[in-house]
Structure 1
């Protein structure tokens, strides 16, 4: 069964075709260069660019894969969370295809798709603890099955990815800054006392990164020499000063260790078969190393997607949409987009009369 996936939740326009867990092809257009001028994503520009790119990408995907329109069995689309205007572009395109081809539509929770993305590359076993770390979200989930997610903790303010990008902006590092901070950090050892490990004086599983972001702003204010004078020269051959490298390494370590500690708490409270690390910030070197060491200490399997599957992509939408539809779940053409900050409902229509839509608890 061939599933078309469409992703347009933020600044990547992506389309992909999968047959089960086999990726037949994927095309993605990134708007990073456009938004880097403004130091972050401009929602109106992002929406307009999705509108310009989604149809040509779809046509090119069919051409590159040799798949004909009438061979597509189901369309899966990211319904949220994300930027409302961006989501609406993808959803409208998906609805048009489903109406014209007379095939089912599956709305996909973008966050759950991130956590299921490694399933395209390796087998997932449940129950599992999922740690999702991205630009807009930092969350811990207990995953009992691909259709049963329980939210254990989430960010109360800034997400880890946002903390990286805001810190980079204060250093005059180009957007998206998290990639540069990770690269610069490799040139020095972290000073564990330079920045606080945020929001650990508690027993819960929530996150907060606004404090460490503020700590970086104050540190830069007191050390203005850290600020890059020419951010356009931060190419692959650029080597940061020892002072800047130490700041980046220390900041990186504080965030990575906070994630490790909260994940350790979750593992102390729930017996699971494996840990799934996912999201765009899961590509961060220090975070991957920190979580890997924890998994080795706990003798538990760690599942991490390849770097290419960490960022927003349509392959993960298609994969999870395929899983949902195979189980009997789909949506009508009344499917609504759900922007960031609103809970995504479990409102699927089921094709299996013996599986009620209320069977699985989603939080």
Structure 2
């Protein structure tokens, strides 16, 4: 089954083709330079950029892959959660392509797709325990199968990625700040007492990172020398040795506080009777690219004797390959949508409202690019 995937949930415009879940080609246009001027994503600008870039990306995708829309078996699109204006651009494009070419439409839960990014090209033993960490979401999920997922715990306010980005902003680091916090805090022994590990004095699996965000901002305000007088230009390689050591220690302490909070909750989930025995661990989302968090998960999986599945770093951030790959899973199961499929903004649960029908696709053809 050949699936076209479209991703416009936030500030990345991306289109991709997957053959039975295997990546064939992807084209992506980042908006980081646009939003860096404002220190965060401006929703109206994001939707306008999606509208401007979608057409050229699609034309380039088909031209470079040598494939056509006629060869596509289904059109998959991120329907939410995300920025409503951005989602509507992708959804309208997908509906137009599906209607014009007579192809089935598949609306994809953006969070489901993130989890599936960790499974691309791999056989995952289920049930598995999943950790989703991004700028807008922090969740622990039980995956009974690739299409049967239950949320065990979620953030009650801010997500882990929000804490990273707001801490970076308080230090006057460029947007997006999470990568700076990660790189500058590497290879430094973290002060485990500098910042609290939030929301652990309980027995459940929910998260709260608003207090940690406040603790970092308060600490930086009390130590004004930590805040850079001039924001460095974004982009390019980050050389940690060129940065002040006090600032790097703050970054290391924050990395530890977030990673260890995630570890405690994951351990709690593994030991819970409600979770039951699991056969694998996986993690996904933009913050899953953080080196401290990846190291924590690697150590946890080894200690528990479980295989660990992590996406390649480029598949941690928003991308269309994960949308197309998840579309293949859903299409092979005969799950599609009508043209009345709606966008679901952040803060609302994406419904499981698929239409059931015969499996989509045709005999598999390996369309992956050959050796370069």
TM-score bracket for the superposition, by shorter chain length: over 0.9
The answer as to 2:177 corresponding to 1:177 is: yes
Corresponding residue SS for 1:311: coil
Deviation at 1:119, TM superposition (A): 2.1
1:246 matched residue in structure 2: 249
3-state SS of paired residue (1:87): helix
Contact kept in structure 1, 2:2 and 2:20, CA below 8 Å: yes
TM alignment of 1:271-290, pairs within 5 A: 271-290=277-296
Tell me, yes or no, if the aligned pair for 2:21 and 2:326 is still in contact at 8 Å.
no
Q: What is the DSSP-based 3-state SS (H/G/I as helix, E as strand, rest coil) of the residue aligned with 2:27?
A: strand
Which SS does the other structure have where 2:158 is aligned?
coil
Trace 1:78-93 onto structure 2 (pairs within 5 A). 78-93=78-93
| Structure 2 residue aligned with 1:198 | 198
2:18 and 2:24 in contact (8 A); partners too: yes
Find out whether 1:261 has 2:264 as its counterpart: yes
* CA shift for structure 1 position 352: 4.5
Residue in structure 2 matched with residue 306 of structure 1 by the alignment: 312
Under a length normalisation based on structure 1, what TM-score does the superposition of the two structures give? Answer: 0.95
Can you list the C-alpha shifts for 1:9-44, whole angstroms capped at 9, x where unaligned? Answer: 000000000111221100000101110110100000
What is the aligned partner in structure 2 of residue 59 from structure 1?
59
- Cα drift, residue 343 of structure 1: 1.1
CA drift of 1:233 comes to 5.0
Aligned mates of 1:259, 1:48 — CA distance in 2: 36
Matches within 5 A, 1:102-113: 102-113=102-113
Q: Cα deviation per residue 1:44-96 (whole Å; 9 max; x = unaligned)?
A: 00000000011110000000000012111100000000000000000000000
Name the structure 2 match of 1:236: 238
Spell out, residue by residue over 1:191-231, the C-alpha distance to the aligned partner (whole angstroms, 9 max, x if none).
00000000000000000000010000110011000001222
1:130-209 residue pairs with structure 2 within 5 A? 130-209=130-209
Establish whether residue 99 from structure 1 lines up as the match of residue 99 from structure 2: yes
Alpha-carbon displacement from aligned partner over 1:316-346 (angstroms, at most 9, x marks no partner) = 0000011001001000000000000011111
2:302 to 296, 303, 310: 296
Matches of 1:349 and 1:121, distance apart in 2: 27
**Relative to structure 2, which stretch is displaced further, 237-246 or 29-38?**
237-246
> Counterparts of 2:68 and 2:177 in 1: how far apart (Å)?
40
Aligned partner of 1:358 in structure 2 is none
For structure 1, which segment, 199-208 or 266-275, has the greater mean C-alpha deviation from structure 2 after superposition? 266-275
Please report how far the alpha carbon of residue 236 of structure 1 lies from its aligned counterpart in structure 2 after TM superposition.
2.5
Note closer, same or farther for the CA distance 1:61–1:352 as it changes in structure 2 (3 Å cut). closer
Unaligned runs of 5+ in 2: 360-372
Contact persistence 1:21–1:119 (CA under 8 A): no
Conserved in 2, the CA contact under 8 Å of 1:118 and 1:304?
yes
Unaligned runs of 5+ in 1: 354-363
Instruction: Name the Cα RMSD after superposition.
Output: 1.2
1:343 matches 2:357 = no
